[in-house]
Amino acid sequence: MLLANLRSQCGALSRLFQYTTLLDCSPFLRSFGTATKTEFRLMGEKLEDLPSISKISDNVVRVLGQNPSKFTLQGPSRTPPLFRFIPSDIDYNHLTGTNTYILGTQVPYVLLDTAEGKPEYPPILSSALDTLPTPLTPLPDISDIIVSHWHIDHIGGLPSVLSLLLSRWQTRNPTLPSTSYPAPRLHKFPIPQDVTGIAATKHNHLSEVVESIPQGTFTPTAEGNTFHDLRDNQLFRSSSPTIRVLHTPGHTIDSISLDIADDRALYTADTVLGQGTAVFEDLGLYLQSLNKMLEYGKNDTAGYQILYPCHGPVVKNGRELISTYIKHRLEREEQILQVLRGKPTEGGNWTIWTIVKVIYASYPENLWLPAARSIELHLLKLKRDRVVQRLGGEGVDTAWGLVSRTPSPSL
């Protein structure tokens, strides 16, 4: 593909790159190249087939979102332009999209995320609820829904799930008026008013989703807000088992993780995945969050061991995987610094594009443009660390150089 063609697509694609930086997120792409030792270890893993409903512990039932797609790294139903770059030799059909989780041993339960809004999901969720003890009183099935972050495959199901829960309650309580329905509370870490980046663009559909929620299907805050704001380190007591909230931004600004102590599990949403490595909006924040997760409960003999991700299976060696994620990023960072320490291959200064051409030399050229976004995110993080500086230019032609010979930031 001509370089000019690649660059002409960069503007449109860059919006998507913040959502999905391909070379660093897609398990599929790991069949290409050998950019780092860590990547090499991660390559070749077979994507695991998961049942739609799984009781994964005494406290937790996993329900798949029925949204298989390349977009969720799990199937063919969505094909935005970005994915023309994805090799097509992957069998996506055996994977079934975003994981949601029902927490609790007795009604009412807590639901983690609502998937994308596919019509196939509410019946599956309903079937999952039917496997659990049913409320005998006018209690709802679900008292609280915790949303992990603003991405559409986690929030899109809010309207249909809330409608389902009201419908189930009305069926169980035909003589009660709907005004007496104890509707679920919705919880989410707030996005700052002055947020920049992709969360401030049209790719954030949160407000549209909220507008689509039927009246009377949820309990707003005392101030009339849709979401009850989650806080870092908040103990979520209205549930069984007890949940502690960790704000772990980076994948998105509002991403959270949840410590589910009874399971010795950390719910990681999209920050750490069951297979593959996650994407991120802000690498600096992302690495800070990975380190925070690694440190959390490290010296606690009852600290978490396993991970409950929003894509892929339960991770048994949770801390080891988080360490691998960090190592992978730092290896990539060191690669970039090594390139910047050398003489530019095409004269002048190093640009994002010439860096990509060196680091991804063994990858197919049609993957270089997605790789450029990943390199840019690394450079932006290194700029904040005052290790590199932006020298000018735009897009993939942006020039970068070292501020000093200091090779690595402290993390």
List contacts with Zn ion (CB under 5 A): 151, 270
- Residue (62 or 151) nearer to Zn ion, CB: 151
Which CB sits closer to Zn ion, 35 or 287?
A: 287
Pick the closer one to Zn ion by CB: 250 or 284.
Answer: 250
Min separation Cβ 147 and Zn ion, Å: 11
Residue (36 or 252) nearer to Zn ion, CB: 252
How near is the Cβ of 15 to Zn ion at its closest, in Å?
Answer: 15
Instruction: Compare residues 39 and 270 and give the one whose CB is closer to Zn ion.
Output: 270
Rounded CA separation 320/277 (Å): 13
Residue closer to Zn ion by CB (options 151, 373) is 151
In the complex, least distance from residue 104 CB atom to Zn ion, rounded to whole angstroms: 24
Listed in sequence order, the residues at least 6 apart from 149 whose beta carbon sits closer than 8 Å to its beta carbon are: 189, 251, 252, 254, 255, 256, 269, 270
As measured in angstroms, the least distance from the Cβ of 277 to Zn ion is 13
Is the CB of residue 216 less than 8 Å from the CB of residue 166? Answer: yes
- Rounded CA-CA distance 199/163 in Å is 27
Which helix (H) or strand (E) element contains residue 97? Answer: none
Kindly tell me which of 24 and 141 has the beta carbon lying closer to Zn ion: 24
Question: Whose CA is closest to 47, among 307, 324, 270, 273?
Answer: 273
Task: Report in angstroms how near the CB of residue 197 gets to Zn ion at its nearest.
Answer: 14
Identity of the residue, 98 or 239, whose beta carbon is nearer to Zn ion in the bound complex: 98
Comparing CA positions, the residue from 40, 165, 57, 54 lying closest to residue 100 is 54
The whole-angstrom separation of Cα 253 and Cα 259 is: 19
| Residues 78, 88, 31, 312, CA torsion sign | positive
Report the SS3 class of residue 30: helix
Q: How far is the CB of 170 from Zn ion (least distance, A)?
A: 33
Q: Which is nearer to Zn ion, 24 or 270 (CB)?
A: 270
Beta bridge partners of 55: 61
Which residue's CB is nearer to Zn ion, number 150 or number 363? 150
Task: Give the whole-angstrom CA distance, residue 277 versus residue 22.
Answer: 10
Sheet holding 306-309, edge to edge: 235-236, 243-247, 256-260, 265-269, 306-309
Tokens of residue 50, six digits: 């998961």
User: Which letter does DSSP use for residue 180 in this model?
Assistant: G
Q: How far is the CB of 284 from Zn ion (least distance, A)?
A: 18
- Using CA atoms, how far apart are residues 223 and 190, in angstroms rounded to an integer? 15
- Rounded distance, CA 199 to CA 18, Å? 10
- In sequence order, the β-bridge partners of residue 219 are 185
Cβ proximity of 275 and 312 under 8 Å: yes
Shortest separation between residue 149's beta carbon and Zn ion, angstroms: 6
Amino acid code (one letter) for 356: V
Minimum distance from residue 240 beta carbon to Zn ion (Å): 27
Both structure tokens of 274:
């069951």
Q: What is the rounded radius of gyration, in angstroms, for the C-alpha atoms of the chain?
A: 22
If the CB atoms of residues 151 and 378 are measured against Zn ion, the closer one turns out to be: 151
Q: Which of 271, 411, 388 lies closest to 339 in space, CA to CA? A: 388
